[in-house]
Amino acid sequence: MADPSKRPHRKQSPYTVDRGIPGAYAGETVTRRRLFTGGALAAGGIASAAFGLPALGFALGPLFERSEAPNFQDVGPESDFNPETYVAKVITIDPYVGEPGKTTVYVRRFDPTRDTDKLHQPYVAISNRCMHLGCPVRYVSASERFICPCHGGVYEFDGKVAGGPPVRPLDRFDTKVVAGRVKVGPRFSLDSHLHRHKVRDPSNHLDGLWQYIYPSRPTT
């Protein structure tokens, strides 16, 4: 009996028809099929990356950007503020872009008889950025409301939404008092119950099911 290990090796046909590969056609080689298959997979990968990478960059990009002043900024002596109305002050959000890096913040003394939040801030410092599309709001002392001139957003005295399209209360800033001077620090966001959250972009919900549709990310 011949030794099977010594039988001559039979070279396989290079044609897909001879090998019985599904979908084969006359004249097609295995090498050619592999080339087309690899090309199709590469094209699919490039197309997927073209759609996926911009979205990933948009979500993760702000993580590597400086968007908030790291230190508390002095906005004046305690005598400048009272619990009955807001005083507009200008602070720097980003010191690297000049005037565009500045913003207006409305500051008043915390009033325990009127304020219901549990944020334990000595002063209330409210951002002037509307939580609809980011337009600048202004405080109207006669009505004790914050008004957005762009799309009719209206906020109550404590920054809660009173009407219009905004999806949540106005953002606030941390505050503290040092040697009789009021200082304003990093910004943070609030839900409709005035509970504190990481800072979020305008139009991002922080209540109900919608908060899960907009995953947490630093503001831009």
pLDDT one-digit tens code per residue, 133-175: 999 999 999 999 999 999 999 999 999 999 999 999 999 999 9
Residue 98 or 83, more confident: 83
> pLDDT averaged over the chain?
81
- Whole-angstrom distance, CA of residue 67 vs CA of residue 19: 62
- Whole-angstrom distance, CA of residue 46 vs CA of residue 14: 30
This prediction's pTM: 0.66
Provide φ and ψ at 138, rounded to 5°. Answer: -135, 150
Q: Which of 59-68, 116-125, 181-190 has the lowest mean pLDDT?
A: 59-68
Quick one: pLDDT at residue 69?
Answer: 45
Quick one: pLDDT at residue 122?
Answer: 95
Tell me the pLDDT band of 97, cut-offs 50, 70 and 90: confident
Quick one: pLDDT at residue 22?
Answer: 67
Residue (of 143, 142, 144, 101) closest to 124 by Cα position: 144
Rounded to an integer, the average pLDDT of 114-125 is 93
pLDDT digits (tens, 9 = 90+) for 3-59: 555 555 566 766 555 566 665 656 656 555 565 665 677 777 787 767 666 666 655
Report the SS3 class of residue 53.
helix
Long-range contacts of 43-49 (CB under 8 A, 24+ apart): none
Quick one: pLDDT at residue 100?
Answer: 80
Quick one: pLDDT at residue 184?
Answer: 96
Rounded to an integer, the average pLDDT of 177-189 is 95
